[in-house]
Amino acid sequence: MKIVLRQEFPLGRFHATPWRVNPFDDSHGEWPPSPWRLVRAVTARWYQWAREAEGEPVAQLEKLQSALCKSTYAFHLPPDARNGTPLRQYHPTDFGWRPAEKKKAGTRSYGTSLVQDNYWCVPPKTPVWWFIEGDDWVDELQAVLARCLERMIYFGRAETLTRIRVAGSADEIPEANCTLADRRTAGAVPVLAPLEEATREDIERTTDNPEAVKRAVPPGAQWLYAGRPERPAARERRRVPEHRPDCHLMQFAIGWNVAPEPRALVRLTSRFRGAVLRELLRLKTRDASVNWTRASRDVREAVADMTGKDANGDALKGHRHTEFLAWCEVDQATRLLVWRGSRAFNADEQEAILLAAARDVSWAAAGSESDEWKVRLVPLDRAVPPPPGFGSQSSKVWESVTPYVPPRHHLRGGKEREGESMAEQIRREVQGRKLAQDVEVELVGTPQWVSVHVPRREANKRALIGDRRGQRVRLRFSTRVAGPIRLGHSSSFGLGLFRPVEEPDQP
């Protein structure tokens, strides 16, 4: 008669060391779990049940042990099980003088012993199936076995929590993929199993018994050999992030060992944009080496809203493109924002942004140190509110989050050009974007040098300096204006970003 057991390891690990194997030299680990261990574990739980029942006959235990010892064993092992990386820990030993000679000792303390913990990683929701077949399994013994298994909470070392029971009619029982044989074949591993003639004394003998400890095999046991199932080839699983419908803003916290310089924000955002474009092109073409120049016209058109240019390389009109912005608190970048107001990000775009954020991004200038100064981007979920100005807030007063850089040079020979002052350039842009008919501009603080974005098509035409002078600005409108507001040079890369300011009402 065949009995099937279903065993799970909820913590995902099976800790056990084969008989008389030094943990530091254990090349196989105990896998599958040994039938000898099961026989001893069931015996221990029978004594627990007997104490609770007050009067179960020992003869019943001997019948149970005999049935287990005379049975044959096979398994269905989880194909994804893996031999874990050993853990090494120092355990306390005897208490005494350190060092042992009292004359030289300064303190008394516990000694330590290095212990290696070997284990197998087992998927918590994928059970190990035991197939036990023998002639002695009458209904009474099956019921006794079930009572013992109910009381089994660990298997192997005490940290191996387990759930084990007799399989029922509702279980979908697979075919065995691991059997035990008398002779060793290529790839087979030793597993300790009971002998048919094993006695109760053999099974219950303690492991430190002088008769057992020196033997290659404990009394009443034998080595059999298990052919483990072939492990499937390991493949990277494509991460499929949750697609957020109507997503116009994705936020990332900026973490660093060395904080990015305030003047380097555009270098950070433009490099992140480049990483996003590479990931998006890879998702569209399934080619890791593709770039925008080599991509087909259809693919260029599909990524136009992310690149900001159409298939011919001409800039998009109407601010349809994606913007990569930096949000600052007290002149220090704390968040990187990916924003597009014209259309929500689709599933591929969201995945490309998250894939790009999985790698560190450099904020240093190009050169030998460009790989040393990097930041880590941590995705923020929908529970984090958008920064001020990106929600439904409106205000009459807006102030700089990042410096404003005029798109046209406002100085010539150190003197302000006629019609090109910062205030006049801001007014023209405010009117061009239809934010308001007019605005009062107040320059705050002193100018500061910041990096700006230089498109490749312009950099190839003429030599441009990558740094320009930026200015903190406060804007005052006659009516409340909704955001987000970003103005000036490199405003799609983090410069010229504003936040609303609520001023107290005038008496």
Q: What is the CATH number of the domain that holds 502?
A: 2.60.40
- The CA dihedral of 474, 478, 482, 483, to the nearest 10 degrees, is -20
Q: Decide which of 354, 387, 420 is a domain's last residue.
A: 387
Same domain, 56 and 139: yes
Same domain, 317 and 180: no
Same domain, 6 and 151: yes
Report the C-alpha gap between 352 and 350 in whole angstroms: 5
Would you state the pLDDT for residue 211?
66
Same domain, 145 and 216: yes
Q: What angle do CA 447, 453, 454 make, to 5 degrees?
A: 120
Same domain, 292 and 366: yes
pTM, two decimal places: 0.56
pLDDT tens digits for 113-167?
A: 888 888 999 999 999 999 999 999 999 999 999 999 999 999 988 889 999 999 9
Q: Among candidates 484, 451, 435, which has minimal Cα distance to 251?
A: 484
* Amino acid at the residue 470: G
Q: Among candidates 461, 444, 464, which has minimal Cα distance to 452?
A: 464
Residue 235 domain-assigned (yes or no): no
Cα distances (angstroms) measured from residue 408 to each of 25, 225, 487, 490: 73, 81, 12, 12
The domain of 354 spans: 245-387
pLDDT tens digits for 55-81?
A: 778 899 999 999 999 999 999 999 989
Same domain, 292 and 369: yes
Q: Decide which of 342, 367, 387 is a domain's last residue.
A: 387
Same domain, 322 and 254: yes
Same domain, 491 and 397: yes
Q: Decide which of 372, 387, 402 is a domain's last residue.
A: 387
Would you state the pLDDT for residue 61?
93
pLDDT tens digits for 353-400?
A: 999 999 999 888 776 565 678 899 999 988 899 999 998 889 999 999
Same domain, 212 and 253: no
Residue 141 domain-assigned (yes or no): yes
* Amino acid at the residue 336: L
In total, how many domains does the chain have? Answer: 3
Same domain, 372 and 464: no
Same domain, 211 and 254: no
Residue 423 domain-assigned (yes or no): yes
pLDDT tens digits for 217-267?
A: 889 999 999 999 988 777 766 666 678 888 999 999 999 888 888 888 999
Same domain, 409 and 474: yes
Residue 197 domain-assigned (yes or no): yes
Whether the Cβ atoms of residue 254 and residue 336 lie closer than 8 Å to each other: yes
